[in-house]
Structure 1
Amino acid sequence: MTKMTSAAGDPGLLRKQQFRIRQMLGLLVLSSCLAGCVVGPDYQKPLISMPGKWGSSKQAKAPKPAELSNWWQRLRDPELNALVEEAVAGNLDVASAKAKIREARATYRQTAGTLLPSVDGSASATRTRTSAASTGTSAQISSQFETGFDASWELDLFGANKRSTEAAKYGLDAAGEDLRSTSLTLVGDVTSYYAQARGYQARIALARRTAASQRETAALTRTKFEAGSSSAVDVANASGLANSTEAEIPSLETSYAEAVHRLSVLTGRPPAALTERLKRSTPIPTPRLPVPTGVPADILLTRPDVRMAERQYAQYTAKVGQAEAARYPSVSLTGNIDTTALNVGDLGKNSSIGWSFGPTLSVPLFSGGQKKAAVEVAQAQRDQYFVAYRSSVLTALEDVENAIVSLAQERIRNGKLAASAKHYRDAASLSRSLYQSGTSSFLDVLDAERSLYTAEDALLQSRVAIATDYIALNKALGGGWSGLIDAGKPEVKDTNTGPHITTSNRQLAQQQ
């Protein structure tokens, strides 16, 4: 056991210890000052030139800002509103994005911990028996107890850990934007498939009504044929037209079922879960128009994919500094204190106490160019994410421009189709009356009914297209779910995580 000397009885030893303490304090102050130093580029949000207005805009006055909050509610369909809420709560892509946020949060906390000292505690107990042959006396049994603490702190003189923490924080921001982007895509998909499903229902109903009308015309033609005022060709054409219209129904039924199945999966349910719920037909969702679009610069703030790309660019800018700091010296402070005694009650009292404290300097001298290459790798990755950010901005602008043009032109087309359907409806009614009176040929009736069905079917498809273009425009502008999404709740709830026997070992023990 080492005997400890008291400094109180030796003034010279006391002065030496005081000098060491002052050295340590001075080193800590210097380290704290240097800890604020970082290397590598400091991130600055890039300035991107944006057009002053949308290319298709002809308004002289300033446009109204986009109304993106709960934009799907302007389709005025309560069933759709309910499905959107259910999808956000149950969709598996959203659940995956929430797990990524939890991962990013944990990574940030883990990385931030490197900025703080680490302290470990230890304790040991040893019991020794010395044989009588080795001591020349009777056997002796002795005990020794030891406890202590070890501490270490990397001073982060050139900001390697700080840059790593900075990158983790940007990564957490990017994960949040990824969740917003996922929910935006989800809301758009749910509304699109719902509009398509209602459109298929309307088209199926139209095909059945038209086929029934054409069957009546075929029956009338057969009656006229039996009376000798019509030909067998007319009867065959009338029956063929009805069969042709009925042949459209199975394909429409298939498309409708696929849309419903997709909606069910988007809400996190089995494919057939919504079949009974959506069986009753309702009108095709009709949006409130026109849609305010704001100015192009707004998408830098509203589009989550653009915001995510910007955060990723910031993240990889910080990683350049992290790689650069690895080329500089590093200093760490380590220390420990321990106490040893023959009895547990004597620890810290009648025991030997030892301690050590000092810095460790690590200087990179030669690495064969690996550290410089690592910096170049980080710079190249940073450049890729900068280009990706610029690309996301251009893609967002393109999406909005395309959606604006598509919606405007489809509205024009819809007006023409509505007028066309009205005229063909009048023509079909008139031709059928003339045919019944014998003043018109059956070919006129055949052509009018075929044209009427085509026009009415195209009009229904156009209504679906308007709803789809409205949805696409709001998605392009950055409109998504604006409500709260709880990302802190894990999908898998772990139980019995403390020390325990594994299930396989327990089963093995029971077998033996």
Structure 2
Amino acid sequence: MASPSVWGPETADVPSRTVAGTIDPTWWRSFNDPELVSLVDRLVAQNLDLQTAAERIIQGRAQRQVAAAQGLPQISEQSSYLHERQSPTGFISLVQPAPYAPLGYDIWQNGLSSSWELDLFGKVRRSVESANAELQASVENRRGIALSSLAELAQNYLQLRGVQTQIGVAETNLALADQNNRLVHTRFANGVANTLDLAQAQSQLATVAASLPTLRTQEAALINAIGLLLAEPPRALDAELRMPAALPAVPPVVPVGVPGSLVRRRPDVREAEARLHAATAQTGVAVADFYPDVSLTGAVNADGRIIADAFSLPSRAFQLGPQISIPLFRGGQLRGELRLRKSQQREAALDFQKTVLQAWQDVDNALTAYAEAQRRHREIADAARQNAVALDAARQRYQQGVADFLNVISSQAQLLQSQNDLATSDTEIDTDLVALYRALGGGWEAAEEKATRAPTGSGDQASR
């Protein structure tokens, strides 16, 4: 597929610019937040989704071993003991047995049998190729889960710090509303304010206080969400994360690479490519089913009426020769299987194309969102400054008796809203940057060194 030559126009009028350059695989460190770095380190080691995906890799390796074993000689050993008694009125009644001949006797058997499919037409080789591709798809799936988990953790952490900033804003405004309430009570006691001013002041104080429970609920939910990603029980991280901290600042320059390299970084694209490879190999298996299966078979065994005969050379017997199985008539089964595999291959190719297009779209949308969030932040910050000036002026005019208390309430409500908008905008910029890194496919490398390895057993077990 033809990729775009460059991303959209580079942003120059925002504090944090995106430029073409090598993407930082440890992008969470660019926030300069030690707590975030610590959480990511624990996520890589503790996340249950990553451990589940690692088990699927182990399963893929086992499946590959199963497929590869079909092309190797198969050897098995059989030993048996049988005690048999003939019926005197059955078949033996047709002959004259020797006097006192026993009707019961023992049979001991011991032998080896082997077979080896020669795979002249590549059926086993294509099956192994498909298993290898499925294994690679499992590896890429784990990388995709690592990327998603890292991004989700970072976004939850940044949203937590944003909510805690909003809690601080609400508490500051609550203190200011309390000051206004005391001011109105003082003026009311001196006969300057009226009951309307008193009711408005108390209503403002209650309104600001009512916003805190909702924010604290969001704070608790985000802490628990982070704990779930780290496989921790609820409230396990309260002591660590409940203490408010400033929202991390974004770096001034963000390298975003070039579009052509995106398909090699995004795990979902690489997984779709591996699925296409597996479907193509399965088509090869279906083609090979039309050709004869040729195998070499052999057997060596010995049997006798006493156990010693089952292990003696004079009692040996053997057979050796090739076997050829030619599919002459299957009722259309082979043609149907081939059509199925070819359709699945075409479906996988279409899915790969869609995944690539989606990846480019994700990056383009994230770039736009990151730039526009910074432009919006600039306007909100200016509005917050002006609302702070307006509130100071309204308070002074009320204290001087030239304006009513409604102007103070209105000005403080606007200031509270703009301060909340500013905190939300700061959070949005940070989370948009995380979304951009996620779209670019960077960060899954951190989980590679923690990948679970398959447990090993004895050599005999491995060979079987």
TM (norm. structure 1) is 0.80
* Contact kept? 1:120, 1:150, Cα under 8 Å: yes
Counterpart code for 2:429? I
SS at match of 1:336: strand
Shift of 1:327: 1.7
**Aligned partners of 1:54, 1:111: CA distance in 2, in Å?**
43
Please report the RMSD computed on the Cα atoms of aligned residues, expressed in angstroms: 2.5
Deviations 1:424-470 (A, max 9, x none): 22222233233223344323322221111111111111111011001
Corresponding residue of 2:72: 116
User: Aligned match of 1:83 in 4, 26, 39?
Assistant: 39
Greater alpha carbon shift after TM alignment, 332-341 vs 92-101: 332-341
Corresponding residue of 1:487: 452
Percent identity for Structure 1 against Structure 2: 32
User: Aligned match of 2:242 in 267, 279, 282?
Assistant: 279
* Contact kept? 2:283, 2:345, Cα under 8 Å: yes
The change in CA–CA distance for 1:447 and 1:337 in structure 2 (over 3 A counts) is same
**Aligned partners of 1:402, 1:76: CA distance in 2, in Å?**
25
**Aligned partners of 2:229, 2:313: CA distance in 1, in Å?**
70
* Contact kept? 2:302, 2:312, Cα under 8 Å: no
**Aligned partners of 1:79, 1:269: CA distance in 2, in Å?**
16
SS at match of 2:38: helix
2:175 maps to 1:212: yes
* Contact kept? 2:108, 2:309, Cα under 8 Å: no
**Aligned partners of 1:79, 1:200: CA distance in 2, in Å?**
16
Greater alpha carbon shift after TM alignment, 97-106 vs 421-430: 421-430
Greater alpha carbon shift after TM alignment, 473-482 vs 269-278: 269-278
Counterpart code for 1:53? V
The change in CA–CA distance for 1:129 and 1:456 in structure 2 (over 3 A counts) is closer
Mapping for residues 393-404 of structure 1, pairs under 5 Å:
393-404=356-367
Shift of 1:260: 1.3
2:16 maps to 1:55: no
SS at match of 2:239: coil
Corresponding residue of 1:288: 251
Shift of 1:368: 2.1
The change in CA–CA distance for 1:320 and 1:74 in structure 2 (over 3 A counts) is same
Gaps of 5+ in 1: 1-47, 491-512
Shift of 1:251: 1.3
Corresponding residue of 1:377: 340
Counterpart code for 1:101? I
**Aligned partners of 2:313, 2:85: CA distance in 1, in Å?**
23
Greater alpha carbon shift after TM alignment, 67-76 vs 192-201: 67-76
Corresponding residue of 1:239: 202
* Contact kept? 1:66, 1:477, Cα under 8 Å: no
Gaps of 5+ in 2: 13-17, 88-95, 456-464
* Contact kept? 1:71, 1:479, Cα under 8 Å: yes
User: Aligned match of 1:226 in 178, 183, 189?
Assistant: 189
SS at match of 1:323: helix
The change in CA–CA distance for 1:390 and 1:74 in structure 2 (over 3 A counts) is same
Greater alpha carbon shift after TM alignment, 456-465 vs 269-278: 269-278
Q: Which stretches of structure 1, 4 residues or longer, exceed 4 Å deviation after superposition?
A: 125-131, 137-145, 340-350
Shift of 1:378: 0.7
Deviations 1:264-296 (A, max 9, x none): 111112222222321111111222133111111
Counterpart code for 1:90? Q
Shift of 1:98: 1.0
Shift of 1:56: 3.5
The change in CA–CA distance for 1:166 and 1:232 in structure 2 (over 3 A counts) is same
2:213 maps to 1:260: no
Counterpart code for 2:140? E
**Aligned partners of 1:58, 1:442: CA distance in 2, in Å?**
45
